[in-house]
Amino acid sequence: MGFDELESEDIEDILASHTEELTNEDLQLLTEHSTLADDDNEVEPQRTLTSKRMAESFNMFQQAMQILIDDDQT
């Protein structure tokens, strides 16, 4: 759903839903989801982008651009 398809009624419904109190079940689901998200973060190793890796990617961009320039028929 894009912004063009939004009705003012839809926006009012969303805003009204945030003023309602959460039930115990809602809180329990949020807690479970939060715990699962924390577990996911621990499993993934931290990735870093080194300058060497950046140089490699920029070189690949240059090669790709050259291919497009060479094949441009305009």
Domain boundaries, the chain: 9-71
Instruction: Please tell me the predicted confidence (pLDDT) of residue 36.
Output: 61
pLDDT at 37 over 80: no
Provide the whole-model pTM.
0.37
Closest CA to 57 of 48, 49, 68, 69: 49
pLDDT, average across residues 56-71:
93
Q: Counting every residue, how long is the chain?
A: 74
State the pLDDT confidence band at 19, using cuts at 50, 70 and 90: confident
Instruction: Please tell me the predicted confidence (pLDDT) of residue 61.
Output: 94
DSSP letter (8 states) at residue 74: -
